[in-house]
Each structure stands twice: as structure tokens, then as C-alpha cells.
Amino acid sequence: MDAADRPGRDEMLDALLDLSHDLGKYLRMPLAMLPAEAGPGDVREALEHALRRTRVGPRGVRGAREIWAGFHEECAAALAGRPGFDALAGAVARALAWERAIDGVEEIDRAALTRDFADVSRRIRELIEEVSGG
């Protein structure tokens, strides 16, 4: 992708706001909706929903990996080298790594999972501030 094909600041902010909604919000929601006393099966089901059925809308069902890949394809070249983008990419990688626990048998550490998913949202907000100059 050459410079002429890269999104400008306003387009990047729009893409980041979409990412905040589609990934940041909907990644956290299934776990946040569970009661505190939810059992391991419920936590595993919420994890599966969060990662594989992250966003259900007019464009169909999209998982977290697909949402991230679309954003990455659109904006990574323009954001490369920004500390906020590197931090976000790391947070997303940690969140996506939880996918291996969906089909596992070990109990899921709900607190760690919640922290990792919340970190994605936080890193998106920080990158929005960085890109907008705030």
C-alpha cells in the first residue's frame, strides 16, 4: 500500500471508533453480562461468544479475529511505529490467545480474561487520543 492508499487522520479515527464499538465493546460484553456466581461452563460459553461471535449485525456474524484483521488491513501501515498501535496489537494478541481455552478442559481464570479484554478497550481509547492529538 503506498501513501496515497493509506487512510488519513479522519479515516483512521473513524476506523478506530468502529473498532472501539465492534471489538472493544462487544469483546467485553458477554463476560460483563454474566452474574458473579456464573459457573465455569457459563464463562467458557461467554468466552466463545466474545471471540467467535463478537459482533452480530447487518454484516452478519463477525469474530474478534476477523474484526481485528479488517482493521489491521485498513490501518496498520498508517499506524505503524506509533507506540499506541504497538500496545494495541499486543493487547489484541493476548485477547485472541484466549481462543485456545474455548475447547480446553481447564477452568478459565475469569479475572485474567476480563483484564485482557478490558485492556483491548483501553488501548483503543489511548490510540484514539494519540491519533487525535489529545
Read off the pLDDT of residues 98-123 as tens digits, 9 standing for 90 and up.
999 999 989 999 999 999 999 999 99
What's the confidence (pLDDT) of residue 1? 44
What CA–CA distance (Å, rounded) separates 9 from 18?
Answer: 14
| Number of structural domains in the chain | 1
CA distances from 62 to 11, 15, 22, 112 (A): 21, 16, 9, 24
Q: CATH no. for residue 86?
A: 1.20.120
Q: By residue range, what is the domain housing residue 113?
A: 3-132
Which residues, at least 6 apart from 91, have a Cβ–Cβ distance to it below 8 Å? Answer: 116, 119, 120, 122, 123
Question: Which cell goes with 51?
Answer: 471471540
pTM above 0.85, yes or no: yes
What's the confidence (pLDDT) of residue 76? 95
Read off the pLDDT of residues 71-101 as tens digits, 9 standing for 90 and up.
999 999 999 999 999 999 999 999 999 999 9
Per DSSP, the three-state class of 60 is strand
